[in-house]
Amino acid sequence: MSNIFDGTFPVVYPVIFVVLAFTLGAVIGSFLNVVIIRVPRHEPISGAHNRSHCMSCGHQLGTLDLVPIFSYIFLGGKCRYCKAKISPRYWIVELVTACAFTLSLVFLGLTVWLAIAFVLIAALVVASGVDIDRMEIPYTCSIVITVLGIITTIMSVFIGDMPWYDHLIGAVAVAVPFGILAMFGAMGGGDVQLMAAAGLLLGWKNIIPAAGIGIILGAIGGCAELLSVPRHVNKLAKEKSVEIAEKWYANQKEKDVYVLPEKTEAIYGSIFKGKSDIEAECMDTKCWNGTPDIDELNAMLDAELTEVSKFGISIVLTNEKVTKVTCKRQVVFGPYLSVGILTAYLFGDLIIAWYLGISGIV
Ligand SMILES: [Zn+2]
């Protein structure tokens, strides 16, 4: 427990600070809701008044409709004017941010670590929200955390909380195994960037529990997510994607565009809410004779896989043949990794001490 809770201050001060941290978190959370929607669309975040109208009836919202957390509760999750249901996600993002701010205050006190925690929480909330929405972690979130990592690395030279190079080792220590997982398709590039940035911030000792918690939660949550997809959707996605890949490649070959003999090329992408997004960056021209028409592939997938949401797709072409097509529901790891990162930031030392204790090492 931290300075303001150790009894040296009258009890009213901690209460005031807790209320302030919760309120600040709720207000910031309300702002992050806007960021989560706008960042992937590359829209400016300034002048964010998109919640000042009801999404259904367009009625101008008053101050009472816009109080973070409380408006949602008092209005019973419905628009005051047209009674349309309001998505609970706004309320959840506000509540999660408020609770994380409060928890950080309680454990870190009024220190520079608290300021870093507030920025870290904001970046993790946006990373998680965008990952849930779009199956990608915006690199701006990782950049913000990297900046925090650089600040703490410089600070460690003066404060000596850990050797400065522990931060650098932290960035590499986790980026390498996560990079390997990403190569096998278990994670996305955004996950690797996020963990490397977090490694720089936390140092190598604390990034280990962060990664451990993230992976365990991800495995549990991932299984639940995978089981929630109706069987017929999975089956349809599998059959259709093979069919489409073969038809598309046959079309390409007709235009004299093909994978060069003895070359292997994989085409990656995702299908999100029935909209496919195949990335051309893996289309190495050294492997191809001519330029494959990726737009055509996207259009064919869009037309057929309308029921599919949040699926990852990869097509492997070897020796001028379609040799492997996978189309499966992807686990969104960002939120789980974020929980791991924040937990390790706040309680990493406690977790390590506990773990070494039960394993009998110390
Ligand atoms: Zn309305």
Distance (Å) from CA 98 to ligand 1 centroid: 26
Q: How many residues are listed for the chain in this entry? A: 362
Distance (Å) from CA 110 to ligand 1 centroid: 41
Q: Which of 1-10, 26-35, 54-63, 223-232 shows the lowest mean pLDDT across its residues?
A: 1-10
Distance (Å) from CA 160 to ligand 1 centroid: 55
Distance (Å) from CA 126 to ligand 1 centroid: 26
Contacts of residue 125, defined as CB under 8 A and 6 or more positions apart, other chains included, come to 29, 32, 36, 93, 96, 97, 100, 338
Give which of 290, 313, 287 is closest to 300, Cα–Cα: 313
3-class DSSP state for residue 289?
Answer: strand
Distance (Å) from CA 211 to ligand 1 centroid: 42
Distance (Å) from CA 67 to ligand 1 centroid: 16
- CA-to-CA distance for 286 and 162, rounded, in angstroms? 46
Q: Give the per-residue pLDDT at 2.
A: 53
Contacts of residue 246, defined as CB under 8 A and 6 or more positions apart, other chains included, come to 322
Distance (Å) from CA 59 to ligand 1 centroid: 6
| 244-259: pLDDT as tens digits | 999 999 999 999 888 8
CB 346 within 8 A of CB 113: no
Phi-psi region of 310 (alpha: psi -120 to 50; beta: other; left: phi over 0): left
For residue 328, give the H/E element and its range: strand 321-329
Cross-strand partners of 271: 276, 311
Distance (Å) from CA 26 to ligand 1 centroid: 22
pTM over 0.75: yes
Where residue 1 falls among pLDDT bands split at 50, 70, 90? very low
Position 163, amino acid: P
Can you give 225-260 as a three-state secondary structure string? HHHCCCHHHHHHHHHHHHHHHHHHHHHHHHCCCEEC
Please give all residues whose CB falls under 5 A of ion ligand 1, grouped by chain where several chains appear.
54, 56-57, 79, 81-82, 84
